[in-house]
């Protein structure tokens, strides 16, 4: 299949995710899905991978954690597996509110799905929650944290697997 067809399929799938998620305060607002792309609200302060110049205080970080968790709950309530929860996908508004974006790797499940379900690639609510934990760790410590669901697996596409504890950073004194 040509790359442009694959890209188009991902774009159409991501549009369906935004339609499914509707309008949630913790998701970047989708302004237009009718064209060839997706037009989202401007998030003036970038993302959590490259945090704002001014280091947020602990109360701001705690508010972010609450808002990020609430966003993921909304995504799961709408029967979507995000599959790509990362600091680069949490964007910051002008007033430093954090919102989730980027659903091009997501899986849309039927609305009556038991959320214990694992998708065809091995993603589940648990892998989403694990990835959210790495975002929390990175924001809290300023150190990148990997939650590599494909560590030591062959290069070819394969199912996600839960990382071993030894591959995760220590949370002692965090």
Q: What is the per-residue pLDDT for 169?
A: 66
- Domains in the chain: ranges and CATH: 3-167 (1.10.510.10)
Q: What is the per-residue pLDDT for 1?
A: 57
Residue 122's Cα: distance from chain center in Å? Answer: 16
Q: What is the per-residue pLDDT for 145?
A: 75
Q: At what angle do helices 125-141 and 58-77 cross, to 10 degrees?
A: 170
Name the β-bridge partners of 108: 80
Name the β-bridge partners of 84: none
pTM: 0.84
CA distance 106 to 85: 10
Indicate the average pLDDT of the chain. 85
């Amino acid at each position: 299949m040509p790359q442009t067809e694959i890209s188009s399929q991902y774009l159409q799938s991501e549009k369906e995710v935004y339609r499914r998620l509707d309008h949630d305060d913790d998701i970047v607002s989708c302004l237009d899905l009718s064209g060839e792309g997706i037009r989202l609200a401007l998030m003036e302060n970038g993302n959590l991978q490259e945090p704002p110049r001014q280091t947020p205080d602990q109360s701001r970080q705690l508010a972010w954690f609450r808002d990020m968790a609430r966003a993921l709950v909304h995504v799961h309530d709408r029967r979507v597996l995000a599959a790509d929860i990362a600091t680069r996908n949490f964007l910051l508004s002008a007033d430093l509110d954090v919102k989730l974006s980027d659903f091009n790797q997501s899986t849309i499940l039927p609305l009556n799905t038991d959320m214990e379900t694992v998708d065809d690639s091995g993603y589940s609510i648990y892998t989403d929650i694990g990835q959210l934990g790495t975002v929390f760790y990175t924001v809290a410590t300023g150190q990148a944290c990997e939650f590599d669901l494909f560590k030591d697996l062959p290069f070819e596409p394969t199912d996600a697997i839960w990382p071993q504890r030894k591959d995760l950073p220590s949370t002692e004194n965090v």
